[in-house]
Amino acid sequence: MLSIISHPECRDHDAGPLHPESKARLDAINNQLIMSGMDYVVRHRDAPLVERAQLERVHDRDYLDRVYALAPGQGMESVEVDGDTVMSPGTLRAAERAAGAGVLGVDLVMANEANPVFCMIRPPGHHAERDKAMGFCLFNNIAVAAAHALEAHGLSRVAIIDFDVHHGNGTEEIFKTEPRVLFCSSFQHPFYPFTGHEKETDNLVDIPLSAGAGSAEFREAVSAHWLPHLREFKPEFVFISAGFDAHVADDMSSVQLTDADYEWVTRELKAVADEFAGGRIVSMLEGGYEPDVLARSVVKHLNVLLD
């Protein structure tokens, strides 16, 4: 049964009134789940707080100490961690819930208590490097979840697929020398964070897309590069960094994907999970900044996972 993991505290992260990463994103998804009728055929679960030891699998201790020291208390003003990443009084708890959601998702799937799982969380995570916050991200949620699958459950091969329009630089930096993780990322290039290029190694497969690229370019690249590597790798668990900001109606980028593209890529990834991983999937929300389009795209994504 498809489970959705979230928590009300994920709404308490406040990056500012003009910031695109707002609680309106989660509100729009919740509304679309209800309007589509999907809300009644999924199980909702509360995200726990991540444990410090779980964060330390992918982040340096000194970095975590700095994040916790910077976190403002209730009634205090927000602080900038970098030019794009803000911590408000509610941010640390939201980030702990976001990372904890992935850990719970892995545990539920491995215990056959849920499958697949979608983590409806914020702040996002895929830009957070081992010792650096950036791009709206404090903790690398998907990396925490993947490391938990490896270390707590003894898996030997996990795949992370990132179709956010921005390169998943943090996830790549954390796992670039980890042979147990295959990381596949598509992204507009050149574009923030100005990392990533056409790269295929045993465990890294980057797909740069030019501004204006649409369905044909995206599907051709996924078919030619991601899918062969995934089938050769034979993952035991599939993680999805699900960012929907490459949508043609999202002003965040110049890539022109459509609802149908998100359905298609989800179906292809689900087929890989079904063939090699016993269907094990945890998908975690990353980008997507036009709330109505994000909500619609998420429901398309979940409909395929639910099938």
Q: Which residues are catalytic?
A: 127
* Residue 209: closest CA among 189, 223, 229: 189
Burial 11-50 (b: 16+ CB within 10 A, else e): bbbbbeeeebbbbebbebbbebbeebebeeebeebebbbb
> DSSP characters for 226-262?
IHHHHHHH--SEEEEEE--TTBTT-TT-S--B-HHHH
Pairing of strands 79-80, 86-87: antiparallel
Q: Which of 45, 123, 119 is nearest to 87 (CA)?
A: 123
The CA distance from 285 to 184, in Å, is 16
The distance in angstroms from the start CA to the end CA of the chain is 10
**165 and 245 Cβ atoms separated by less than 8 Å:** yes
Query: What is the torsional sign of CA 280, 242, 159, 149?
Result: negative
- Rounded distance between C-alpha atoms, residue 2 and residue 113, angstroms: 10
Residue 231 Rama label (left phi>0; alpha psi -120 to 50; beta): alpha
Q: Is there a contact between 207 and 250 (Cβ–Cβ < 8 Å)?
A: no
CB of 108 closer than 8 Å to CB of 116: no
